[in-house]
Structure 1
């Protein structure tokens, strides 16, 4: 196990009299390719203790909805199947009106020698870890499975992707990071499955759809048609992407289109909920592009920071891996080093704050309320299309997401109101919301990780500006807008 990934969250002695090592599965919701599970298994073997895996789902989390609940539960069903295959003692707990979750983790922690959990730096996870660490009498150890490289290697967050790209490439050239076990076999975990039974109330509902109908979710967001959560689905999507779309990623990813046509992976929700890991995506991409012959020596040793050639001889693979590693890591590292409890515009660079202070009283040509934004009721057909895609499918094409964010800044009374609206809409509807990259993606629209742009403009100042007119000139939008029309139940093209 790579010690760089381990963080002790409290100073409690390890009690050899405990019954088991408890893995509290929070964000890396899978068994294979999971550093936290691997560490829990190795510790259980070392201590000669039983291994228990606890995965819980409360119903009071922020932005809760049937959409998110179903996606998570579908992953839990896959985990139950995999646990049965491996002989792992898996304790899923799903809160309901008649089966409250309050105090359940503290109860099962009483018999733990140690608790291992996922060191995710965003949303409610850091506070949950801190809170539990103060209530238990055994060590709580958090394991970083967020990226290919342990984040403890980096002294600070960065202001631009080009800086982090060089850092990452140099770390790779020092030596490949230690990857975790990609796929477990039952014999690997022999002796770790004892006879300890969970308290009453554990287990998964027999009928998922009927169970979901018993909830009164705060947010009425139905599951998106055709979207399924879980590890099995994630692996299917990965295979389809690397065999059918990867080769056109460099040239085709920015073009808004139907998801079956657009050269994007569609893996973001599955990464967010931990149904798939970054290491297995990395290996799958390089195995396909090098016909199974890839090894670390094939990386470019000439120029760290070279986005076009570093990982592979395939330019499309390099572009995809740069998004997967550099651009994903920059958001995670932003949270990892600073761990801000409440993200807001105070997290922006000083040059952006100065711009906004200068332009806060600028006249806005259009102003919309949250309700108008949420119902896709603006004067701009492209913005309305992007919002419709988000509401109907739980996703949004990445280029359209940038335009979507920029326009909300332009059409609200204050920058603070714009941020609150973007946070709410993204976290309520997007499967991959409530994530470090969700927040840094929104803040990018305000200037984070970017540079000043000229000429200076109304409302934005020197923050990058985007327009629907330029988007229409840059891309052929007909197919995308026809797709959005179909989502609305209108087969006619939206394109004039």
Structure 2
């Protein structure tokens, strides 16, 4: 359990259960947490651990042999999986296509003496159904809709009962060193994190919190999603789900969100026959009669999948400017020597000390809350491109800030979202501009004209303690 960290609605867990039953072997669920992953911090560590505590509770309810392991100075994670799998019939894990996980799976398969099965639980549709990555959302949308019309995806078991797992031998005890810390905050103080980032106030990880957030979203905000999601506002006034971190760490599954959205938008009457058979690619009407539900599901499925599929074909740990389309590379080659009106260092960006109040506000929101309003994230990325000496430096700064502070960083959509600012999945725009060429341009002035920003700026002012300084 390394990407999709839950028991319910989990294809990998269901497959592991099926193998255990077939081979009449014990089912042991191992969930580990290293301390040395890139961009590690107390913020990310605590969020993951809160999910592990929820998993321990759920495992106890179901009678599952759950072996969590949390690395520390005095409890290093060396050779653990090889040791506990020496008599295994098979190892089942998550086929997550990004960050450190693809490399970990490859190394694991080379060290153990049993088959290693990596299960794709990344989306509603298996990513292997698509022959190649999509160059734009409008293209992938059509592909996805056509696949749906061939037949609904096969969902896994949504919720387990203790009786479902009876008959499995669950008698082994974990080796010494396994188990969760008794006092979470005290334990976190013992870790030498590379990044000094505190947990965000009011943010809690774990499955229980994810399910609460989902319930609140579909009952209170979903109906306003189509028109209410774009305007920058505090999270409680913005019609977005807030589920991205929980999806990233696998505390909730995309199937659960899909079902909950269609259940409430159709008042319990949804079934596959309600899919639009008229026009694959129609994001307004394809899934249901609710345009807000359709817009949300298009973000959840099409725009999420486009990032995952981009990684899926090669499974690199990260992507960078070399992955941009040729027209963008030509633009940047032509404009690389353009004069930049402003130039800022990483330190100035990180501490929100630019001349632009909207950019500073977006950065403060990221640092303080681990999230950023989606429209502001696009503006945030575009301006870093404009205010750095080179496109390569801009990418490095955006990657670092996003992965250091965002709860949902280190994800396929983190990288494709950053590269969207450079032109990925977009088209050429005219007129041609300084620095950007034909890559889409965004400005704070146009944002102020498009939206009423007072409420958002007041919210940021509260986050920063009514101070002009991000780090007093």
What TM-score do you get using the length of structure 2 for normalisation?
0.98
Q: Mapping of 1:352-363 within 5 angstroms?
A: 352-363=328-339
Pick from 339, 344, 351 the counterpart of residue 315 of structure 2. Answer: 339
Aligned-pair CA distance for 1:106: 1.4
Aligned-pair CA distance for 1:342: 4.1
Pick from 368, 383, 402 the counterpart of residue 407 of structure 1. Answer: 383
Q: Mapping of 1:119-134 within 5 angstroms?
A: 119-134=95-110
User: Partner residue of 2:8?
Assistant: 32
For the pair 1:443 / 2:405, whether they are aligned, the reply is no
Query: Quick one: structure 1 residues 474 and 485, their matched pair in 2 at CA, closer, same or farther if it must change by over 3 Å?
Result: same
Is the Cα–Cα contact under 8 Å of residues 307 and 318 in structure 1 kept in the other structure? yes
Aligned-pair CA distance for 1:193: 3.9
User: Partner residue of 1:323?
Assistant: 299
Pick from 176, 187, 191 the counterpart of residue 211 of structure 1. Answer: 187
User: Partner residue of 1:184?
Assistant: 160
Q: Mapping of 1:65-76 within 5 angstroms?
A: 65-76=41-52
Deviation track 1:77-112 (CA, whole Å, cap 9, x = no partner) reads: 000000000000000000011111111111112121
Deviation track 1:254-310 (CA, whole Å, cap 9, x = no partner) reads: 000010000000000000000000000000000000111100001111000000000
Where 1:157 maps in the other structure, the secondary structure is: coil
Deviation track 1:156-207 (CA, whole Å, cap 9, x = no partner) reads: 0010000000000000000001000000000111122421111100000011
User: Partner residue of 1:139?
Assistant: 115
Where 2:90 maps in the other structure, the secondary structure is: strand
1:111 & 1:198 partners in 2: Cα distance?
14
User: Partner residue of 2:145?
Assistant: 169
Is the Cα–Cα contact under 8 Å of residues 99 and 318 in structure 2 kept in the other structure? no
User: Partner residue of 1:468?
Assistant: 444
Where 1:215 maps in the other structure, the secondary structure is: coil
User: Partner residue of 2:258?
Assistant: 282
1:48 & 1:105 partners in 2: Cα distance?
21
What TM-score do you get using the length of structure 1 for normalisation?
0.94
Is the Cα–Cα contact under 8 Å of residues 87 and 193 in structure 1 kept in the other structure? no
User: Partner residue of 1:242?
Assistant: 218
Where 1:53 maps in the other structure, the secondary structure is: strand
Is the Cα–Cα contact under 8 Å of residues 88 and 193 in structure 1 kept in the other structure? no
* Stretches (4+) displaced over 6 A: none
1:399 & 1:271 partners in 2: Cα distance?
20
Aligned-pair CA distance for 1:408: 0.2
Is the Cα–Cα contact under 8 Å of residues 65 and 221 in structure 1 kept in the other structure? yes
Which residues of structure 1 form unaligned runs of 5+?
1-24
Is the Cα–Cα contact under 8 Å of residues 50 and 193 in structure 1 kept in the other structure? yes
* Deviation larger for 433-442 or 342-351: 342-351
Aligned-pair CA distance for 1:481: 0.2
1:397 & 1:171 partners in 2: Cα distance?
31
Is the Cα–Cα contact under 8 Å of residues 389 and 395 in structure 1 kept in the other structure? yes
User: Partner residue of 2:77?
Assistant: 101
Q: Mapping of 1:264-275 within 5 angstroms?
A: 264-275=240-251
2:467 & 2:360 partners in 1: Cα distance?
16
User: Partner residue of 2:434?
Assistant: 458
1:233 & 1:35 partners in 2: Cα distance?
21
Aligned residues: 469
Aligned-pair CA distance for 1:340: 2.8
1:491 & 1:95 partners in 2: Cα distance?
38
Q: Mapping of 1:364-403 within 5 angstroms?
A: 364-403=340-379
1:177 & 1:240 partners in 2: Cα distance?
26
Aligned-pair CA distance for 1:436: 0.1
2:101 & 2:406 partners in 1: Cα distance?
18
Aligned-pair CA distance for 1:491: 8.3
Where 2:409 maps in the other structure, the secondary structure is: coil
Which residues of structure 2 form unaligned runs of 5+?
none
Is the Cα–Cα contact under 8 Å of residues 99 and 316 in structure 2 kept in the other structure? no
Deviation track 1:119-151 (CA, whole Å, cap 9, x = no partner) reads: 000000000000010011100000000000011
Is the Cα–Cα contact under 8 Å of residues 423 and 442 in structure 1 kept in the other structure? yes
1:353 & 1:360 partners in 2: Cα distance?
10
Is the Cα–Cα contact under 8 Å of residues 223 and 293 in structure 2 kept in the other structure? yes
Deviation track 1:399-446 (CA, whole Å, cap 9, x = no partner) reads: 000000000000000000000000000000000000000000000000
For the pair 1:42 / 2:18, whether they are aligned, the reply is yes
Aligned-pair CA distance for 1:215: 1.2
